[in-house]
Structures are given as C-alpha cells and as structure tokens.
Structure 1
Amino acid sequence: MEHSKIGNRGKNDTFGGTDDNTPILVKSDVANWLFAGINSGNLLLTIGGNILVIIAIFRRKKSRNSATNILISSLSISDTFVGLVFMPFQIAGVLGSNGLVTEFLCDSVMTASWTFMNSTVLTLLCIAVDRYRAIVTPMKPRVSVKLARWMILLVWLTSFVYSSSNIVFHSTISVTVPANGRNVTTINCWYIPTVEMIGIIVMTDFLFLYLVPLLVIFALYSKMIIVLYFGASPNDSGRRRKRQAVKMLIVVVVMFGVSWFPFRVLRMFRFYAPSMFKGTTFGFVRAIAMPLALANSWINPFVLAIFGSNFRREFADILTCRYRQARAEVQPARESRNRPKHLDEERCAGTRGEPHKLDGEHNLCPDRGVRTVAVQTEMANIGGPQHHLGPYDNTAFEISPLE
C-alpha cells in the first residue's frame, strides 16, 4: 500500500530515484544498527559541543559584540538543531519506529532539517566575507554586529524558503515485504516526484548548496592567505593572530567539504547510476555517508578548541566552573570601586599630616598625593588591571582573535 501527495510516480529515499520497489533499509539489519549507532553518537556530541560554543560566546558582553562571533554562534545554533530535529528522526526511521514517521513529521522535520543544514554552508560563506573585509580591505568599514545579524536573518530565510519545497516533494510511503519468514511493514519519508524532477533537485542541491559556495569560500580565503603571508604590512602587529584565526576557519570549511562530499556524491550516483547501489550495498554505503555528513555538526567545536586558544580557555573555564570562582574574586574589587566617597573622607579625617602608608584598607587620602585607587590594588592581587584571572587572560575574550 502506498500513498503520496503527487501520486504513484516513484519510490525512493532521500538519495534519489530507484527502480527497486523494495524498501532498501529492511534488507540489512546490520547496516540499520550501524547507522543508528553512529548517529546516536553524533547526536550526543552535536548537542553537547555546540551548546558549549554558544555559552562561551554569549556569556561575555564583548564577545557578543563581535560580528565574527555572532556568525559563529549562528553556525552552532544551526548544528544544534540538526542534532535535535534531524538525527532522532533518522534513527527512528531505520529502527522501524513507524509511529514516529507520520505525514506531518515527514513534512515538518524534513523542511526544518534541510533549513538548518543548508544554513550551515551559507553561514560559512558569510564568515568568509566578514574575514575578507577585515583582512583584504581593512580601510573599508568592517562588517558590523547589526549587519551580521541581518546576514544571519537572510541566511535563515533563504534556507527556509528553499527547503520548504520538501513539503511538496516528500511524503510517507508504506511498503510491506517478506523478511525472516514474516511480512514486515515499514514507513519511510521519501522523495515522491518524477525521476526528472528528482534529478533537478539533486543537481541544484549539489551546485548551489555545496560546490559553488565552497568555490567562492576557497577564492576568498586564498586571497586572505596571499595578503597575510605575502603582502607588505609592517604596521600590522596582529598579523600572527590573524593567520591563526584564518587557519582555524579554513579547517572548519575543509572539514565541512570533506564530511559532506560522500553524501553529495552518493546522491548524484544514486540518480545517474542507480545500478551501482542496490540493496545491501546501498544500505552500508548510506550507513557511512549520511552519519559522516551529520558528524560535521559536532566537528566545529573541536576545531575551534584546538586552533583557538581563547575558545579552549573558555571551554576549560565553563567545564570546570572556574569562571564562578573568578567572579567571586572580582566582586570585592567592584564593591570597593563603588564605595561612596564620604567613607574615604571620614577615614582620612584623623590621619592628616601622617606619612604616606598604604594599609590593609588602601589609604586614599587626597592630601597625601596618593592616586592609587582601591580597585587597582585589589585587582593587582588577582592578576593586575587587565582582569587576569588565575592562569588565563580572559579580558576581552573573543572567539576569533581578529577582532
């Protein structure tokens, strides 16, 4: 029994058309469990890693006021929702949880999931444009936080409008086949249009949501590398930090291209050479290609932690709750700084004419010429006026050291 919005014009999964009417995933239980196991690990790493990134950015005001950080946070939010929405749906589908694969979930989950996944590559493109403006054209106005927010809004709207086609092109298909001496009915969320239309969708996705953006990003970063490593800029004291940040972002882009490449190629082969992937073979290839693509959602936090020293320190502070201890140490200094002036005047009333001496309460009597303020002395005890807390300098934390 089959049903669809467009009619009985093809049975296929999200990789493209096939002439094989048997639901592919029921042919290999091993491939199913492999797929579910890898995606379960992806789910945990994706949610944990990206929430850590979001907290690291938004818990400090100055990091929130960086256009690059705003764009990186959008990237992490997209990856988080890929884990929350798409991965559980995929796991339920291959394990035969037919109750979770309804018409409403098929439309809504596929639209939302592809919105999040498509926004990833578009956000990487925005980050490359932001860095290009800062490095190659430093004399021109940089991307502001306000503009970065508009860029994010445009990315999400574009991704949603494009991905909303899944409402028309996907539907639930129920098929009953013999397996292990009994009939097994599976319900899958599959593409349902004509084979020609599927070919257009697959080719459009590959060109405009993978190949073309990556080529543009490659061109932008190539120009940045030329400027940073071969350009003359004697007054640029932050060149070393800029190089490190560009390396970090290049690795993020490369990991995106590598992780999504098998999945994109598999979709192309599935449409143009369907005979190459039949039955169990396709099940195992899919069990590797799809989770590898989804693994990109948790790779970014690890890349940022490895290549970004500020990111690494923030992660350590958050995971060990060290920032709470730092705040507790800073609080007395803030209280001294905010202490009413008349308290210092009263304390100085009985010390006129005495030689200058700093006691435990930090004498601030004006007639002694003492210009040291209490907050400076107290902050010196915990690392100096730059808020050097413990072994780390967390002043003006920014995910990207380019700001």
Structure 2
Amino acid sequence: MTLMYSNEINEIAKELEATYNATNYTGNTVLTNDDLYDVPVGLIILLSIFYGTISLLAVIGNSLVIWIISTTKSMQTVTNFFISNLALADVVIGLFCIPFQFQAALLQRWNLPEFMCPFCPFVQSISVNVSIFTLTAIAMDRYRAILHPLKAKPSKYVSKLIVSGIWIVSIIISIPFPIALRVFPVTEGRTFNDGKIMQHQKYFCDNTILPNEVMRHYRYFLVLFQYVIPFCVITFIYVQMAIRLWGSKTPGNAQNARDVSLLRNKKRVIKMLIIVVLLFGICWCPLQVYNILQVTWDSVNEYKYINIVWFCSDWLAMSNSCYNPFIYGIYNDRFKREFQRRFPIFRPKPKDNTSEMSEPTTMTMYSNVATIRNCNGYSTRLKEIFNGTEFDEKQNRNYVNIFFLSLLFVKL
C-alpha cells in the first residue's frame, strides 16, 4: 500500500528537475510553491468527484449492512457475521484510506499532519488484509456447509474467535508501515544566469527507517499473502462447491418442492459470494500488478502516462469497498426485505390491484362457513363464492377441500 510517488529520492529529484525545465523562468522571478507544482483544477475536481463518490457509498452502504445484520435476529448467522466483518473493513477504507491517500498522490506531496503518514497506509493494509482473510473464512464456512453438511456447525463464539484472529494477524502483517514511513522534506535549488538561487521544499511520505531491500521483500510478501495465495485458495474452494451444486442431483425421490427450494437458495448464496470474490480479484489486480512492477522495475514511474495508469488502478481498487452492499441487495432476499421494511420508499410498487389480493386464510374460511350456515341456499352461495372474488380458481386445492369439509359438517 504505497503512494505512487514513493520511489527512491533520486527519482523524486528527476521529477522536480523535469518540472523546472518545463517552466520558463526569468532571473528576477521568484515562483511560489503553488506555481511550481500546480495541478489543473479540472483534474482535481474530476478525481475528487470519483473518489468522493466511492468513499461516500462505501461508508453509507456498508454501515447499512452492519446495522441490518446486527439488529435482525434471524440474520445473525455465521456467514452474515463474517459479512458484517467484511463490511466493517470496507467502512474503514472509505473513512481513512480513500480520501487521504488520494489527495497525497494527486498533489504529489504530503500536506496532512505527520502522524497520518504512517497511519493511513497502516490502516489501509489492515483493512485489505481483513477483507481477503474474511472472504477466505466465508468460503471455508460455505465449503463445510455444502460438501460436509453433517459436520457440526461452528458456533457464534468460534466465529468471533476467527474474526478476532483475522484482525490480529492483519495488524501484525501491517506493522512495517508505521515503523518505516515518515514525512521528510526534499529541497531542490536552481541557479539562474544572474547568480540568484531559487530553492523549493516539498514534503513526502516514504520509507526513511528500514533498508530499501527490506521494504522491497516486504512488498513482495504483501502481494502474495494479501492477494495471490488467498485468491487461489478461494477460487479452488468455490470451484469444488460449484461442481457439487451444479453437477449433481438430489438422489431418489427427494426432488420435491422443499428440496428444490433449498438447492435454489444455496446456489443463489454461492452466486452472490462468487461475485463478491470475483469483484475483489478484478478490482485489486491492476494495483497489485503495479506494486510488483514498482519494486522490480524502478523506471516504471518514468513512463509518460503512469499517472493515469496509477489513478485508474487505485480508484478501481478503492471502489471495491462500495460494491458489496448492492450485491447483497440483489442476491440476498432476506437482506432486501429488511432494507425495504426499514426504508419503505424503496419498496416496489404493485403492478396491479389483483396482485395485491391475499390468499384466503383460515379466518376467511370460517367466515364463509358462518355465512353459509345462516343461508338456506347452500348451492347458490357456493356458486357465488367460486364465481366471485372470494376464491380464485388458481388457489391452493387444500383450501377447497377444507371448504367442502366445512360445508358437509354444517349440513350434518
């Protein structure tokens, strides 16, 4: 989790020198900090809108996920507990990572308080670790439920221990960032023809403590354990589950409505989780590739359009934190119902009046029987009921049977 400008000091000097050479100076002109490092206002506005949008969606959307799951008793399952943990990690990214790291990379300097230099990358690394490790835990939990359904389910206490372990391991893995990163100034000077010297000081957030070789190997380690290995494990697990769910049929005569419904629900949950994992892999892949190139090929940042490449890769990675709530709303019927119950404005409008008619209940049946008891024309009333709006000919046959039994009882 490094900013695009975090190269060796000589790379920074090359960038500053190019900036000097691209600007016309006169011997009597002294340029301010803003003149030297001006960023087009249009670019700042555009990127601010893009980053601000995903930051807002990440915080609001994932906060709703946590709120709905934590306040709905029927949704407090082991899988949903892991999903809440994933949402919490995305909220942290939206609050502490997207806004601050973005401005530093855009302005190519560190204007924030010094303590945030090690803090922001540290928190971002923790959040990404928690996300991928939680996705792995979800995959393993679903693997057990589908391929080994007779094994004992993990209790909520065990799931809490797993989540606690995920956070502890994520923090330990991310410790090198607060150790190594510090704010430091880079001073550049230029001597003009009249002998005047112009100096400029620019602050950066980069490694000033640990040897560069150590940080190089640490970044390799992060890419492996933060992306490659977990993604391969998750892919293998979901392939096995897909083979079991889509490649086999329920044995014997068990293909009744209940079994079909359960199988359909399992497939729907697995589809949802596969989409979540695929989005994580797709969104983070370009930035992880850039991180590998940066530590293996020092001149990658000399590429003419590397700024555009980096911002697109970083925005795509950060945007992953705001997609999951929409996926849950599409594929998780229970989450969708809870969301619509708490926010009635999002309830779908009925297509027509007939679709709103409810099925006859037991109370309706008793009411019909009482009406018939008070009438002498049983056959006439029967025709009225079946030809009118009180019964639809498509209603469940069980209700019809109950009605005739009740009618027979009244006659007797």
TM-score (norm 1): 0.70
Higher relative contact order (CA 8 A, sep 6+): 1
Q: Does 1:265 align with 2:289?
A: yes
The answer to whether the Cα contact below 8 Å between 1:23 and 1:175 also exists between their aligned partners in 2 is no
Matches within 5 A, 1:355-366: none
User: Deviating runs (4+, > 6 A) in structure 1?
Assistant: none
Q: Are 1:60 and 2:72 matched, yes or no?
A: yes
Aligned to 2:186: 175
In the TM superposition, what whole-angstrom CA distance separates every residue of 1:299-338 from its partner, at most 9, and x where no partner exists?
1111212222222232333333789xxxxxxxxxxxxxxx
Distance 1:15 1:67 in 2: 41
Q: Label 1:319 to 1:274 Cα distance change in 2 as closer, same or farther (>3 A).
A: farther
Question: How many angstroms does 1:139 deviate by?
Answer: 0.8
Q: Secondary structure at the residue paired with 2:148?
A: coil
How far, CA to CA, are the matches of 1:196 and 1:31 in structure 2?
A: 35
Give the corresponding residue for 1:144: 155
Moved more, 261-270 or 274-283: 274-283
Q: Of residues 142, 146, 156 in structure 2, which corresponds to 1:131?
A: 142
Aligned to 2:207: 191
CA contact 1:16–1:271 (8 Å) conserved in 2: no
**Match of residue 363 from structure 2:** none
Structure 1: stretches of 5+ with no match in the other structure: 1-11, 324-355, 359-403
**TM-aligned CA distance change 1:99 to 1:205, over 3 Å:** closer
**CA distance in 2 between partners of 1:286 and 1:183 (Å):** 29
1:256 aligns with one of 272, 275, 280: 280
Aligned-residue sequence identity (percent) comes to: 27
CA shift in 2, pair 1:293/1:99, >3 Å? closer
Residue 111 of structure 1: how far off its partner (Å): 1.7
Aligned to 1:20: 11
Tell me which residue corresponds to 1:211. Answer: 228
**Please, which moves more after superposition, 311-320 or 220-229?**
311-320
Q: Secondary structure, in 3 states, of the residue corresponding to 1:142? A: coil
User: Quick one: which of 152, 159, 167 aligns to 2:170?
Assistant: 159
Counterpart CA distance in 1 for 2:217 and 2:174 is 14
Q: Would the aligned equivalents of 2:65 and 2:325 in 1 still touch at CA under 8 Å?
A: yes
Distance in structure 2 (CA, Å) of the matches to 1:205 and 1:168: 16
CA deviation after TM superposition for structure 1 residue 96, in Å: 4.8
CA RMSD after TM alignment: 3.1
**In structure 2, distance between residues paired with 1:75 and 1:186:** 37
* 1:239 is the counterpart of 2:263: yes
Aligned mates of 1:95, 1:207 — CA distance in 2: 27
Pairwise CA distance, 1:94: 3.9
| Partner Cα distance (2:176, 2:168) in 1 | 13
1:101–1:187 contact (8 Å) kept in structure 2: no
The aligned residue for residue 385 of structure 2 is none
* Corresponding position: 1:221 with 2:233: no
TM-score (norm 2): 0.68
Q: 1:44 aligns with which of 41, 47, 56?
A: 56
Q: Does the 8 Å CA contact 2:4/2:105 hold for their aligned counterparts?
A: no
The one-letter code sitting in structure 1 at the alignment partner of 2:63 is: I
Residue 313 (structure 1) aligns with: 337
Q: What SS does the corresponding residue of 1:174 show, helix, strand or coil?
A: strand
Q: Secondary structure at the match of 1:189?
A: strand
What's the CA shift string for 1:202-242, capped at 9, x where partnerless?
Answer: 21011111000000001111111111112343444411110
Q: Cα distance 1:24–1:57, how it changes in 2: closer, same or farther (>3 A)? A: farther
Q: Is the partner of 1:103 in helix, strand or coil? A: coil
The amino acid of 2:128's aligned partner reads M
Separation in structure 2 between the aligned mates of residue 105 and residue 297 of structure 1, nearest angstrom? 21
Distance 1:105 1:67 in 2: 35
**CA distance, structure 2, for counterparts of residue 287 and residue 319 of structure 1:** 35
Q: 1:145 to 1:20 in 2, by over 3 A?
A: same
- Equivalent pairs, count: 313
C-alpha distance after superposition, 1:177-225 (max 9, x if no partner): 589x986644332234433223202210111110000000011111111
Q: Does the 8 Å CA contact 2:3/2:101 hold for their aligned counterparts?
A: no
Within-5 A mapping of 1:268-307: 268-278=292-302, 281-307=305-331
Alpha-carbon distance in 1 for matches of 2:314, 2:334: 32
- Contact 2:125–2:174 under 8 Å retained in 1: yes
Asked whether the 8 Å contact 1:27–1:279 carries over to 2, the reply is no
Question: Which of these two proteins has the greater Rg computed from alpha carbons?
Answer: 2
Distance 1:178 1:290 in 2: 32
| Structure 2 unaligned blocks of 5 or more | 17-36, 193-197, 348-365, 369-412
**Superposed displacement of residue 131, structure 1:** 0.4
Kept in 2, the 8 Å contact 1:111–1:166? The answer is yes
Pair 1:83–1:316, CA change in 2 (3 A): same
- Go from structure 1 to structure 2 and tell me whether the alpha carbon gap of 1:280 and 1:38 turns closer, same or farther (over 3 Å shift): farther
The 1:316/1:22 distance shift into structure 2, 3 A limit, reads: farther
In terms of mean alpha carbon deviation, does 298-307 or 214-223 score higher? 298-307
